[in-house]
Amino acid sequence: MQITGLPRVLIIESQLIVAADIALQLTRWRYEVIGIGTQPEEALEYLTRHRPDIVILGGKVGSRAGGERLSALITQQMRIPLVMLSGSSDQRCWESIVAARPYAFIPKPFRREDLQRAMKLTVERMVAEGISLQLADEPQLVRRVSRA
């Protein structure tokens, strides 16, 4: 996989205000947010039409009916890096997060630094796994994200 331009991020989070806050931060850090959804069904539409480079998935969405299938589709079939976000500490939710095999985890309520570190970790892992990050618009993005 080769990414050109800005990394394209899809956010699927049950709390729209949280998703909007994440989108605002990512945009400031030069990521392209291609969509925000609150349900697994919305994610499927974005995934098939827009093919994001990274998906941020809220734990409540990921643990709902259809959510576990969604996370498996993202990570196993489409092989898109997944970042999980959750404020739940219950065992069932945690097990669904672990089963999703995310590149990174962000606890809620999240701090700006938590989001920034998770995205940096995800980008660095993508590079380590050979996912080309030839960013036409911003060639220094990986370094900028790590310093931001």
36-72 tens-digit pLDDT: 998 888 888 888 888 899 999 987 765 555 667 788 8
Question: Does residue 114 contact residue 106 with C-beta atoms inside 8 Å?
Answer: yes
Indicate if the pLDDT at residue 136 is higher than 70. Answer: no
Q: What pLDDT does residue 146 have?
A: 36
What span, in angstroms and rounded, lies between the C-alpha atoms of 26 and 17? 14
Which residue ranges form the domains of the chain, and what is each CATH number? 8-111 (3.40.50.2300)
Q: What pLDDT does residue 137 have?
A: 46
Regarding predicted confidence, which is higher, 15 or 131? 15
pLDDT digits (tens, 9 = 90+) for 99-110: 888 999 999 899
Query: pTM for this structure?
Result: 0.82
Beta strands in the chain (DSSP E): 2-3, 8-12, 32-37, 54-58, 82-86, 104-107, 132-133
pLDDT digits (tens, 9 = 90+) for 71-123: 888 888 888 999 999 887 778 878 878 888 899 999 989 999 999 999 999 99
Q: What pLDDT does residue 5 have?
A: 59
Residue 58: closest CA among 17, 91, 3, 6: 17
Indicate if the pLDDT at residue 128 is higher than 50. Answer: yes
Q: How confident is the model at residue 142 (pLDDT cuts 50, 70, 90)?
A: very low
